[in-house]
Each structure stands twice: as C-alpha cells, then as structure tokens.
Homo-oligomer: A and B are copies of this chain.
Amino acid sequence: MFEPLHDNVVLQKEEVENKTSSGIILSPQNKETPGIAKVVACGKGKYVDGNLVPLQVKIGDRVVYKEYATTSITYEDTDYMIVSEESILAILK
C-alpha cells in the first residue's frame, strides 16, 4: 500500500453521478471544479519553520479537493490520486 511523504495525502475518488446521495452536485468535471474523495493514506506532515505541522485530515475523511492539483496513479485496478494537503479545502462531515 502507499505511505505518502511530507504533507501528501492519497485519495480514492468518490464516483459521483450528477448528484450524490449526500446531495452534492458537482458541476461537470472540469479542472476548476473541486472534487470529492475519501482519504486512504496520509503523510506525517510538513516542516514549517523547524516544526513538524501534522496533517488535519485522517484516513476515512471525505474531503473537497482542488482537482487540478492531483497526481493520478492506478494500483491493483483502483484509481488513486496523490495530493498535498494544501490543495484540500474542507472535510465533509
């Protein structure tokens, strides 16, 4: 499995048709629109001014992220994206 470095997070895309069960309407997937995905692996965090700042997200969180900032990889027939936590906007509760 993945062990992300620094403040990287591995996401698994949530297959959303036009409207998800939880009511999220995602305008057609263009790079500007945020995506929704689940966190499957987290890095340890990033050094800021000599201090390790831990991540705010954790495995299992549903998050809104900036689509254009991701790197895609397929592993055991599943699509994943790796993104820096800076490109994750919010957690969906």
Contacts and interface: CB of A to CB of B under 8 A. Distances in A.
Given A5-B88, A57-B5, A34 B71 contact: yes
Interface residues of A, number: 46
Contact of A89 (B44, B66, B71, B88): B71
Interface string A50-77: 1101001100000010100001111111
Interface string A1-27: 111111010100000000000111111
For this chain, the copies found in one complex come to 7
Interface of A: 1-6, 8, 10, 22-27, 32-34, 41, 43-44, 47-51, 53, 56-57, 64, 66, 71-77, 82, 85-86, 88-93
